Structure 1
Amino acid sequence: MCYSAKVWQAYQDYVRRFGAVIGIREFAQLYADRQKGAKVKTTKAMDDAFLRAGTSETRGIAQAIEAWNAEQIAELERLLFRQRRRLVDAERTLRTKSTKKALDDQRIASNRIEWAKGKLADLHRTVPVERDSRIFPGMYAPVMVIEQGRRVIKPMRYQCRPAGKPAVYDTKYPGTYNARRDNLEGFWKGQFGHTHGVIVCDAFYENVSRHKVEGCALADGEAEENMVLEFKPQPQQDMLIACLYSHWQGDGEELWSFAAITDEPPPEVAAAGHDRCIIPIREEHLDTWLNPDPNNLADLYAILDDRQRPYYEHRMAA
């Protein structure tokens, strides 16, 4: 499974390269919901793209992001104050007597202080870094789709909830951020041939077992050790990743969400210890993919077969 990817987050990139338009209503609603307390996770890169845009149509979105950032900063500063006081109290106790509570308080407070300082640094930081564009299941990313004959960019959650299914599907099927090619006409029959999208990414990440990466068997009694690998296409390039999406509505709520299609891995990914891989389609197939014909699934499978086939170099993820 592709559990994480580094994707384009600035909608302006889609506008410039693909002539796409931005789904203002959906982005505005997403950030308004987050400000009201909804569990909406966005990347710093996507937030920063709106803060830099400086256009009249995105001003309201930027204001919502600024307000949310200010609330986060205030909350983190309060947390820092509480944890620093907790640390001082624990260290005062430890100078006279070592107790389990004081040791636990010292450890927990120290960890929370470092975490909060890191979060504050990210909120204040203006220079982008690679991790700003990385998505994980449950996070939102810009997805390109077709609406009324136009390429449109919409924010969607990276974990697809099929339309018509109950919200409990999120926990019943936690792996629905990926759609297996061999199940497109099964679990995904409501989306395959109906609602297609793409994301643009230049790297993806996988959890693998260290012994598989190193090509050795586990010793008797040895536990598997997980590691995260970053895979990048060579030569470096942006990849149009085939996705399915759904517009779910229920109980007065709506959710735009997507899944990346995965298939059998190329040899170098398999040799690195992983058994699935996302599918980068060729740009000449983009409009056909985004305008699927449910009566001609063979053409859609042909697009998935005629994919880009770069060589994926891997390294330990930072």
Structure 2
Amino acid sequence: MNTAVSDIEVIKAKKTKIHDVDFDHLSFGSTFSDHMLECNYKDGKWQAPKVVPYQPITLDPSAKIFHYGQSVFEGMKAYKDAKNDIYLFRPLDNWKRLNISSKRLAIPEVPESYFMEGLKTLLKLDSEWIPKKEGSSLYIRPFIFATGKGFHASPANEYKFIIACAPSGAYFAGKVKVLIEETYSRSANGGVGFAKAGGNYAGQFYPTQLAVEKGYQQVIWTDDNTHEYIEEAGAMNIFIRINDTLITGPTSDRILDGITRKSIIELAKAEGIAVEVRKISVHEVVAAAKNGSLKEMFGAGTAAVISPISGFGYHGEDFDIPELENTYASLMKKRITDIQTNKCEDPFGWRFKVE
């Protein structure tokens, strides 16, 4: 099958919604651009992708997405520099990870040209939707879900791939206080924790609600077996600074191979910061908080880039994290966002210009 595509059909919206949007006061992921990419899988292959007006989707009640949860997604951002050029950050990593997630959920993989050429076509058409205000960006959500019909518990025979865009402001405002989870698990060995599967996030909501009721904003996930090791922060990877060493857990069946995570590890090494990728126990973090060697904790992900943690709760006790002048979190965030927005050199080759 020839999966190359260079000329994607575009059906333009009759009227733009952009004049109704206050770009100075954007919430995250709640306003959507004029168009979306759409591609259907049927008869054993992906059909030609096309860009269409952003619109509702009609599905049969027996569509398998509703019953068996075959759904995966990605999170990306597009930026504009001072010259109005459009940039993406490591987009091929998103395409690769989307297919890794798809494979785990028995969803057919999307060809690279469908993903990349479709995304470029969409961004050029909706380029005016990319905000230039500091801290803002065009959030991009590629996702695939089962549209095939039937109540039989088996993979669907039809799927839909969509890329939708939402101009957005900052994901989190300020620092967050987190609760280290001791009962519930985000994922398990042999499971789908490494995939960006919709159900992973659905399963997080209830434990997070319980944490919010106790006065916290997010949950720190621990391993499913012993709850002794730190794994993720909410829907993000987590970094912990003890003295001057930055520590993050290794990826596994349970932990997402975050693109921001990988970038921070490389950036920190380039800055001469000691980095350790290893298991880190709750008791080590608690001990560091008590003896003053715990300097920082922060979440890392596409939406927030970096979300500093102000303190954590464990076993009914709260621990504050000191306020430092020059944090690794602020340094890493500036380094990444400067690369993303073309404000500095990119020695890593992460920035991708949309042409």
Q: TM-score range by the shorter chain?
A: under 0.3
Structure number with higher relative contact order (C-alpha < 8 Å, ≥ 6 residues apart) = 1
> Which entry has the higher C-alpha Rg, 1 or 2?
1
Q: Which has the higher helix share?
A: 1
